[in-house]
Structure 1
Amino acid sequence: MGCPLNLWADSATGVRSARPALAGDRDADVVIVGAGYTGLWTAYYLAKADPSLRIVVLEQETVGFGASGRNGGWCSALFPASARKLAALPGSSRSAAIDMHRAMQDSVNEVGLVSAAEGIDCDYYKGGTIVLARSQAQLARARAEVASAGEWGPGDLRFLERDEVESHVRATKVLGATFTPHCAVIHPGKLVRGLADVVEALGVTIHEHTPVSTIERGRAVTPYGVVRGEVVVRATEGFTPGLAGSGRAVAPVYSLVVATEPLDDATWDRIGLADRPSFSDHRHLIIYGQRTADGRLVFGGRGAPYHFRSRVRPSYDEEPRVFAKLQSTLRSLFALEDVQFTHAWGGALGVPRDWCASVGLEGGFAWAGGYVGDGVSTTNLAGRTLTDLILRRDTPLTRLPWVGHHSRRWEPEPLRWLGINAGLHAMTLADTEERLTGRTSQLARLMSPLLGH
């Protein structure tokens, strides 16, 4: 396609010095495997809470190499499992699910507050999220979602009529929309690099190009040495299957993203998005977009295949068929016939079998992940929660329903490959079904229990 790969890496400011790989065995108090948002937020809050802690972060590539440096830049209050599902978890309740909803909202604000306090210029802007309804079936889903949200929270998800939508964004075929104020847009590359610089200034050691093959009780094993610690944190998300014994913990599913050239003022006057809300629509196959601080449209979605045996490879970041579909979808959404695209990239996110993210600490082994693409703010909540767990503090965060949750393992191959790819294909067919029939998809209804709803 002739596009540079990743806009966020291409436009992150500053020259970063290489961080050395591990050079032999060493001891620490806390060992964190993975230098993405989960690992770095955990290091940040631990170092702030107890500056005497020896914290070592091990990263097999470079800081933010995974989903933290590749995502669509939504810092939202979305959690991958529904409130109804959270309330049904063992030991949970309706009130606990509502507490989780509010904790996610607080996390959106916390990312902005810490970024400002620490001087991380990550283009944070809280403009909310608008999700368009562009067919009768989508319109019915939008109204049902608002009704359900009112049962499980403070009722801050609003339905917008067509004329109200135009004050936020002007897109094609719009019949209505939902809107929530609880989302900010960010520049992911600037956030993850800035956060790494901050934790290093707090005394945390980061070793890049140091792959961890095994996490054992009190140890992380690498080709260059063993790092021992009272607590070892697994913060590897889509790369988790590469760890010994974790091949079925999560499924790495790829999400792909494209970015336009900076658009001129006349085009923005026609599109809207003046308050930079993140945007999507109510189709089944997920799409997501934002207006960047430098005036581009960044637009992503699912549709790339799951790869056999949970393999993650750099070559999988590029799917020309999906890139072309994303470009045509964005052009159609805003009637942008002549827009040029400058970047296209992808990356793996972690999907647990029940679509429910989790965080916990058991016997010196801590973990967080399974965000299903909703990780920018959830990782912040994870970092604060892990800090409380590691420091043995009983707080409202440690009593949230995702703490200590264990998703069952994915099926062995080839069942995993068949099932996940069938599900992805089914969501595409469900959208086609609705476009042809004008009615809510029966296929999507059948698939819903398998997708964590």
Structure 2
Amino acid sequence: MSATRNAHPNHPYVSLWLDEAFSTEQRLPVDLNPLPRTADVVIVGGGYTGLWTAIRLLEHDPSLVVCIVEAQYCGYGASGRNGGIADTSWAKFPTMVKLFGLDDAVRLARAIEAGLDELCGFCTQHGIDAQIRRRGSLWTATNAAQVDSWHNAVDACTEAHAHPFRPVDTSESRILTESQLALGGVFEHSAASIQPARLVRALRRTAIKFGAQIHESTTMTSFNGAGPVRVHTTRGTITAQKVVLATNAWLARTSTFKPYLFVTSSDIIATAPIPQLLDPDGLGSGIALSDSRRLILYWRSTPDGRVVFGKGGGHMSRYNHVDRRFTGRSTFTGQVTERLHRLYPQLAQVPIEHTWTGPIDYSVTGLPYFGPVDDSNHAVLAGVGYSGMGVLQTILGGRILASLVTERDDEWAAMPLTRRWPNRLPPDPWRSAGAPLVKAATMRKERLMDEGRQPWPLTCLVAGLDPTTAPSQS
């Protein structure tokens, strides 16, 4: 494995994506600008959610004083270390129907899907090269037990007269994936692969052009008040009329959101460039790929011919604390590489040059929430719970939060994701103690299914205790 340089002057290695993005930026000076004493809006968190919210606020009203405070640097969290897959949420459509009813579910799913056109248009308008490759996505099966896992989603969409999915047989799935283990699936046109850190760093530059004040290496320590709100940080206090908390998994430990969210890691590897993948067909096209297991596998190629391959369900958090296990090189590199080589034995001799990990704020429904942190205080809002699918969803989230901040009664403020999650996860300490047991049973079950064997009933029983909702379970 190649050594990875420290791309940011003040922080250690986080991901291949950030290394690439920082290599095209001028070296960043330490932010010595004083914090403003007051602002109209303070946004805590410099990732996709915070930056999209700032941009939409300033588009609506350029006179607003919008201040972003970020504990590390913009893109340090999930926005700079995800798999780089811009996928819709049609796979979760059955869950949307159960939670919101048919009409609102269709409206929501279409709004998320529209985010891809919006993203491409925004990047074109502002000269952003996020390496967007609109080659769709394939939800496939990589063992016999996974076949037809997409059945519920396809049927629910058909009943709603929506047709985002195209059935793909085994032969075509093997052409699209270039893996002989693919056993059919469904193809979705409205999806893309991107370079996520290039996008988040470009959003940072664009937000600054729009007038946002961004203060990195500035950690919020607490806040109090209900409008105005005093935001206390390691560099001073800002008084604001509204506050948006956009720290993703780092918000899951708070008392308000802990009952509904669980933090786990997603772990990713990247191969050395492979000359054959420069061919713009099949895997080399940039198509986004995922299988149907609970501990999902997802992968895509890069424009320079790497395979970027990820696996969900790595580290299980303790009390939703994002500790040192969730940043840097993955400790699950061996497991993830084994999964890659199962699907692509022809890559067994290709070096793994990069690995990284990051926290996922998985919600009880698999869908995010945008709205007040506390129903009694509408001056402090949050966007959280993306559950590993945030590239397009944050675009919608930015519009929702901007409308809520400015108290507009529009289509965005009326989106059903402003409704709180209906169910709670098991409380701690039972959750933190039980999660590793459920994960171990799920891994055992999936490994046996990969081998064409029937899992034991006890294994299935324990694996079935997972209280969160996967697309195949919707």
Q: Same fold (TM over 0.5)?
A: yes
Residue identity opposite 1:131 in structure 2: W
In the alignment, the residues of structure 2 paired with residue 213 and residue 94 of structure 1 have an alpha-carbon distance, to the nearest angstrom, of 41
For 1:47, the equivalent position in structure 2 comes to 58
**1:44 positional shift:** 0.6
1:227 to 238, 259, 271: 238
In the alignment, the residues of structure 2 paired with residue 407 and residue 308 of structure 1 have an alpha-carbon distance, to the nearest angstrom, of 23
Equivalent residues in 2 for 1:16-415, closer than 5 Å: 16-18=27-29, 20=31, 23=34, 26-78=37-89, 82-89=92-99, 92-152=100-160, 154-216=162-224, 217=226, 218-241=229-252, 248=259, 250-265=261-276, 272-317=282-327, 322-335=332-345, 336-361=347-372, 363-406=378-421, 410-415=425-430
The Cα RMSD (Å) is 2.7
For 2:468, the equivalent position in structure 1 comes to 451
Residue identity opposite 2:40 in structure 1: D
Q: Please state whether the residue corresponding to 1:127 is helix, strand or coil.
A: coil
Unmatched 5+ stretches in structure 1: none
In the alignment, the residues of structure 2 paired with residue 16 and residue 384 of structure 1 have an alpha-carbon distance, to the nearest angstrom, of 31
Residue identity opposite 2:361 in structure 1: G
Whether contact under 8 Å (2:252, 2:261) holds in the other structure is yes
In the alignment, the residues of structure 2 paired with residue 413 and residue 293 of structure 1 have an alpha-carbon distance, to the nearest angstrom, of 44
| Greater alpha carbon shift after TM alignment, 97-106 vs 321-330 | 321-330
Whether contact under 8 Å (1:68, 1:188) holds in the other structure is yes
**1:117 positional shift:** 0.9
TM-score, with length taken from structure 2 = 0.87
Which string of whole-angstrom CA distances, capped at 9 and with x for unpartnered residues, describes residues 340-371 of structure 1?
11110111121233433111145211111100
Residue identity opposite 1:133 in structure 2: A
Number of residue pairs matched by the alignment: 449
- Shift in alpha-carbon separation, 1:228–1:356, aligned structure 2, 3 A: same
In the alignment, the residues of structure 1 paired with residue 30 and residue 254 of structure 2 have an alpha-carbon distance, to the nearest angstrom, of 22
Q: Please state whether the residue corresponding to 1:308 is helix, strand or coil.
A: coil
Q: Please state if 1:435 is matched with 2:450.
A: yes
In the alignment, the residues of structure 2 paired with residue 407 and residue 420 of structure 1 have an alpha-carbon distance, to the nearest angstrom, of 21
- Shift in alpha-carbon separation, 1:333–1:135, aligned structure 2, 3 A: same
**1:95 positional shift:** 0.8
In the alignment, the residues of structure 1 paired with residue 285 and residue 73 of structure 2 have an alpha-carbon distance, to the nearest angstrom, of 33
Which string of whole-angstrom CA distances, capped at 9 and with x for unpartnered residues, describes residues 407-442 of structure 1?
655544321212332332232122124235556997
Unmatched 5+ stretches in structure 2: 5-12
Whether contact under 8 Å (2:41, 2:65) holds in the other structure is yes
In the alignment, the residues of structure 2 paired with residue 287 and residue 186 of structure 1 have an alpha-carbon distance, to the nearest angstrom, of 17
Residue identity opposite 1:237 in structure 2: N
Whether contact under 8 Å (1:139, 1:175) holds in the other structure is yes
Whether contact under 8 Å (1:137, 1:438) holds in the other structure is no
Residue identity opposite 2:402 in structure 1: T
- Shift in alpha-carbon separation, 1:399–1:52, aligned structure 2, 3 A: same
**1:93 positional shift:** 1.8
Q: Please state whether the residue corresponding to 2:53 is helix, strand or coil.
A: helix
Residue identity opposite 1:381 in structure 2: L
| Greater alpha carbon shift after TM alignment, 437-446 vs 412-421 | 437-446
- Higher relative contact order, chain-length normalized (CA < 8 Å, sep 6+): 1
Which string of whole-angstrom CA distances, capped at 9 and with x for unpartnered residues, describes residues 110-133 of structure 1?
111111111111101111111222
Residue identity opposite 1:61 in structure 2: Q
Residue identity opposite 1:119 in structure 2: G
| Greater alpha carbon shift after TM alignment, 190-199 vs 226-235 | 226-235
**1:166 positional shift:** 3.9
In the alignment, the residues of structure 2 paired with residue 42 and residue 436 of structure 1 have an alpha-carbon distance, to the nearest angstrom, of 46
Q: Please state if 1:426 is matched with 2:441.
A: yes
| Greater alpha carbon shift after TM alignment, 267-276 vs 248-257 | 267-276
Residue identity opposite 1:421 in structure 2: P
In the alignment, the residues of structure 2 paired with residue 363 and residue 270 of structure 1 have an alpha-carbon distance, to the nearest angstrom, of 49
**1:41 positional shift:** 0.3
**1:251 positional shift:** 2.6
Which string of whole-angstrom CA distances, capped at 9 and with x for unpartnered residues, describes residues 168-215 of structure 1?
232022221221112111101100001000100111001111111223
Residue identity opposite 1:295 in structure 2: G
Q: Please state whether the residue corresponding to 1:398 is helix, strand or coil.
A: coil
Residue identity opposite 1:140 in structure 2: D
- Shift in alpha-carbon separation, 1:436–1:337, aligned structure 2, 3 A: closer
Q: Please state whether the residue corresponding to 2:391 is helix, strand or coil.
A: helix
Q: Please state whether the residue corresponding to 1:60 is helix, strand or coil.
A: coil
- Shift in alpha-carbon separation, 1:446–1:428, aligned structure 2, 3 A: closer
| Greater alpha carbon shift after TM alignment, 245-254 vs 278-287 | 245-254
In the alignment, the residues of structure 2 paired with residue 116 and residue 96 of structure 1 have an alpha-carbon distance, to the nearest angstrom, of 30
| Greater alpha carbon shift after TM alignment, 440-449 vs 278-287 | 440-449
For 2:20, the equivalent position in structure 1 comes to 11
In the alignment, the residues of structure 2 paired with residue 398 and residue 240 of structure 1 have an alpha-carbon distance, to the nearest angstrom, of 22
